A and B are shown apart, each in its own frame.
Chain A
Amino acid sequence: MMENNLFNFELVSPEQKLISETAYQVSIPGEEGDVGVRAGHMALVMSVRPGVVEVIRTEGGEKEKIFIAGGFADISQTNCTVLAEEAVPLSALKAEALQNELTRLNEDMGFAESAEEKTRLTKRITIVSAMLSAVKAA
Chain B
Amino acid sequence: MPSLRDYRDRIASVKSTRKITSAMKMVAASKLKKAQEAAEASQPYARAMAGMIARVAAGVKGDAGPKLLVGTGADQRHILVVVSADRGLCGGFNSNLVRYTRNEVRRLKADGKDVKIICVGRKARDVLKREFAPLIIETITGLGGKSKLGFAEAQKVSDLVLDLFNRGEFDVCSLVYNQFVSVLTQKPSTQQLIPFVVASNENQDVASAPYSFEPEEDVILADLLPKNIGVQIFRALLDSAAGEQAARMTAMDNATRNAGDMIKNLSIKYNRARQAYITKELIEIISGAEAV
Q: B residues bordering A, Cβ < 8 Å?
A: 38, 41-42, 44-46, 48-49, 51-52, 55-56, 150-151, 154, 159, 209-215, 219-220, 223-224, 227, 230-231, 234
In the assembled complex, the Cα of A85 lies from the Cα of B48 at a distance in Å of 13
Instruction: Report the stretch among A37-45, A95-103, A104-112, A125-133 that lies at the interface.
Output: A37-45
Contacts of B220 in A (CB 8 A): 45-47, 72
Question: Quick check: B212 and A30 within 8 Å, CB to CB?
Answer: no
Question: Quick check: B42 and A14 within 8 Å, CB to CB?
Answer: yes
Partner among A42, A72, A83 whose Cβ is within 8 Å of the Cβ of B212:
A42
Question: Quick check: A17 and B214 within 8 Å, CB to CB?
Answer: no
In the assembled complex, the Cα of A46 lies from the Cα of B230 at a distance in Å of 19
Contacts of A116 in B (CB 8 A): 159
Contacts of A74 in B (CB 8 A): 48, 51-52, 55
Tell whether A43 pairs with B219 under 8 Å between CB atoms, given A10-B48, A74-B51. Answer: no
A126 → B minimal CB distance (Å): 15
Contacts of A10 in B (CB 8 A): 44, 48
A13 → B minimal CB distance (Å): 6
A81 → B minimal CB distance (Å): 5
Q: A residues bordering B, Cβ < 8 Å?
A: 10, 12-17, 20, 30-32, 35, 42-47, 72, 74, 76, 81, 83, 85, 116
Instruction: Give me 20 A-to-B residue pairs in the complex whose CB atoms sit less than 8 angstroms apart, sorted by A's number.
Output: A14-B45, A14-B151, A14-B154, A15-B41, A16-B41, A16-B42, A17-B44, A43-B211, A44-B213, A45-B52, A45-B212, A47-B219, A72-B49, A72-B52, A72-B220, A76-B209, A81-B48, A85-B151, A85-B227, A116-B159
Which of the listed residues A13, A20, A31, A83 has the most CB atoms from chain B within 10 Å of its own CB?
Answer: A83
Q: Which residue of A lies closest to B154 (CB)?
A: A14
Q: Which residue of A lies closest to B212 (CB)?
A: A44
Q: Which residue of A lies closest to B45 (CB)?
A: A12
B47 → A minimal CB distance (Å): 9
Task: List 15 other contacts, CB 8 Å, given A14-B42, A14-B45.
Answer: A12-B44, A12-B48, A13-B151, A14-B151, A15-B41, A16-B41, A20-B44, A35-B214, A43-B209, A45-B211, A46-B214, A72-B49, A74-B55, A83-B49, A85-B227
A74 → B minimal CB distance (Å): 5
In the assembled complex, the Cα of A46 lies from the Cα of B55 at a distance in Å of 12
In the assembled complex, the Cα of A44 lies from the Cα of B56 at a distance in Å of 10
A83 → B minimal CB distance (Å): 6
Partner among A15, A35, A81 whose Cβ is within 8 Å of the Cβ of B151:
A15
A78 → B minimal CB distance (Å): 11
Question: Quick check: B210 and A43 within 8 Å, CB to CB?
Answer: yes
Give 10 closest A-B pairs by Cβ, nearest first: A46-B214, A16-B41, A14-B151, A12-B45, A43-B211, A17-B44, A12-B44, A74-B52, A14-B45, A81-B48
Q: Which residue of B lies closest to A16 (CB)?
A: B41
Question: Quick check: A45 and B215 within 8 Å, CB to CB?
Answer: no
In the assembled complex, the Cα of A76 lies from the Cα of B214 at a distance in Å of 14
In the assembled complex, the Cα of A35 lies from the Cα of B213 at a distance in Å of 13
Partner among A17, A43, A76 whose Cβ is within 8 Å of the Cβ of B41:
A17
A41 → B minimal CB distance (Å): 11
B147 → A minimal CB distance (Å): 13
Q: Which residue of B lies closest to A31 (CB)?
A: B215
Contacts of B234 in A (CB 8 A): 14
Tell whether A47 pairs with B223 under 8 Å between CB atoms, given A15-B38, A42-B212. Answer: yes
Contacts of A72 in B (CB 8 A): 49, 52, 220, 223-224, 227
A137 → B minimal CB distance (Å): 23
Contacts of A85 in B (CB 8 A): 151, 227
A51 → B minimal CB distance (Å): 15
